[in-house]
Each structure stands twice: as C-alpha cells, then as structure tokens.
C-alpha cells in the first residue's frame, strides 16, 4: 500500500468555533481501537502532516477524527476549512500502543483524557470487544470549558445503556458546571474527588489506568498514581499505568 491514500470528507461536526470532527472515507489498513494515523494537506508545495487518533471503532463505516484549530497551526486551521466532498491525504498505516491488548487484566479500566485526547477512548468504548475485558470502565474527561466537551450526548447515551459497567466523570477547569468536577485531574485524584464521583477506589490490585493528552497532565497524574502504589506498564514489567502524550 502506498505511503498516503486520498481521503474524502463525508461529514463534519462543529462542537464549537475551534473544536470539530471530520468523518472521512479512505482505504486504510486494519487498526486496533486506540490507535492513530496521520492526516495531511499540501501547502506551498509541501505536505503538512499531523497525527490524529481514530475516534471511530474499527468496525465503523467511516474514519472519524477530532481536532482543535490552533491559530498558529500549519494544518489544523486548514482542516477546519474542509467541507463535505473535500479531499485530504491519510496515512494508511495505523500506529500507537494505547490499545487494550497492551494492558494487563484488572477489575476496572480508568481512562483519563484531556481535550481531543478523548478520541482514542471513544474508539475503545465503541468497540464491542472492549466490554469483554473489565468489569467496569471509567472515563474521566477534562476540558477548560463546558463547550469543549465533544461527543457529550454519545457518552451520556453509553452511560445510560451500561449503567452498571460505565461511569463518566467530566472535569471542567475554568468554570463551574452542574454535574462536573472543577479543577485538574491530578489534584482531583489526590483529593479523592474523582474516585468518589465514580464510586470506585483506585488500587494496584484492581485498577488499570490509561492516560492520554496534555503532557503536563500526564506527568502530574503519573506522579499521583505512583503515589498510590501503581506503576508504569511495560511489556517486560507489566504494571497499571499506560500513557500516550498528545503532542
């Protein structure tokens, strides 16, 4: 298969003035929920490319990507300009190890995301195979403002569909929102507020954790979890913390 294939936008969703999703039709190699690929556009005779996680599960008809337009960015503002029927380039080879086949067994799977890093977790939760692995799944999704909570209705529908097995803990840092915690994930973990909201403790003997997003959040959350006795998950030394930085 060639280095790049042509993709066609079949739908776009605007969550707010900067946050958007693209559904894309493209022939790519099979991927595992939680992985990512690269999107690209030609600009000034050069190919500008960036990595984006699949939001869709592998079984979906179209590929889906969640992105935020950064004013000084070379690619994201141009992706935001794409409309239905427009073309872009897609790398057909998936990458990444934020997948459940890399995670040891446990009772609960905790997923900590900031911003657009919720994408790979939605891909995992949307895959039927996911639900055979753990008793309970907890999605902790942190953003600055309520308007930044993409896919909120989809997440709420999942919580209603699987009330005994799925817990959703939204976190908003810069405003008070009913039903959401206010602050940052590391501090809310340290205080126990996240565990209380989920109704489940975090402990090495029962918990597996996935962390994806802002590098500062990952660093600080890792420190908090290690303070609880959890350790990094490595192939040679399995643990309870699996991470992927989003930039």
Please provide the DSSP assignment of 106-154 as one string: -SEEEEEEEGGGGHHHHHHHTSGGGGGT-SEEEEEEEESSGGG-TTHHH
Write out pLDDT tens, residues 35-75: 999 999 998 889 999 999 999 999 999 999 999 999 989 99
User: Is residue 58 a contact partner of residue 33, using CB atoms and an 8 Å limit?
Assistant: yes
Cβ-defined contacts of 194-202 (< 8 Å, 24+): 194/140, 194/169, 197/167, 197/169, 198/138, 198/140, 198/167, 198/169, 199/167, 200/108, 200/136, 200/138, 200/167, 202/110, 202/228, 202/230
Per-residue pLDDT, averaged over 117-126, amounts to 98
Confidence class of residue 246 from pLDDT cuts 50, 70 and 90? confident
What per-residue confidence (pLDDT) applies to 245?
82
Q: How far apart are CA 247 and CA 228, in angstroms?
A: 26
Average per-residue pLDDT in the chain? 96
Q: What is the largest CA-CA distance in the chain?
A: 54
Query: Judging by beta carbons within 10 Å of its beta carbon (0-12, 13-18, 19+), is residue 78 exposed, middle or buried?
Result: middle
- Sign (positive/negative) of CA torsion 57, 60, 63, 64? negative
- For residue 1, is pLDDT > 70? no
Write out pLDDT tens, residues 26-45: 999 999 999 999 999 998 88
Write out pLDDT tens, residues 185-223: 999 999 999 999 999 999 999 999 999 999 999 999 999
What per-residue confidence (pLDDT) applies to 15?
98
Write out pLDDT tens, residues 71-91: 989 999 999 999 999 999 999
Q: How far apart are CA 152 and CA 234, in angstroms?
A: 32
- For residue 237, is pLDDT > 50? yes
What per-residue confidence (pLDDT) applies to 2?
60
């Amino acid at each position: 298969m060639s280095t790049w294939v042509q993709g066609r936008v079949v739908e776009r969703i605007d969550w707010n003035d900067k946050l958007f999703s693209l559904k894309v039709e493209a022939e790519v190699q099979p991927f595992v929920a939680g992985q990512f690929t690269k999107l690209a556009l030609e600009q000034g005779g050069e190919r500008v490319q960036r990595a984006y996680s699949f939001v869709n599960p592998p079984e979906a008809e179209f590929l889906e990507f969640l992105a935020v337009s950064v004013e000084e960015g070379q690619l994201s503002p141009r992706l935001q300009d794409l409309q239905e029927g427009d073309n872009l380039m897609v790398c057909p080879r998936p990458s990444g190890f934020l997948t459940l086949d890399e995670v040891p067994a446990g009772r609960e799977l905790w997923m900590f995301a900031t911003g657009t890093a919720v994408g790979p977790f939605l891909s995992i939760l949307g895959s039927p195979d996911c639900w055979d692995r753990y008793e309970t799944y907890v999605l902790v999704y942190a953003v600055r403002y309520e308007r930044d909570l993409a896919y909120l209705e989809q997440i709420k529908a999942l919580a209603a569909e699987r009330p005994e097995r799925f817990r959703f803990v939204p976190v908003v840092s810069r405003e008070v929102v009913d039903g959401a915690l206010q602050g940052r994930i590391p501090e809310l973990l340290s205080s126990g507020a996240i565990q209380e909201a989920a109704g489940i403790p975090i402990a090495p003997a029962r918990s597996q954790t996935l962390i994806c997003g802002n590098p500062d959040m990952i660093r600080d959350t890792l420190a908090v979890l290690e303070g609880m006795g959890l350790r990094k998950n490595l192939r040679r030394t399995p643990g309870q913390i699996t991470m992927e930085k989003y930039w």
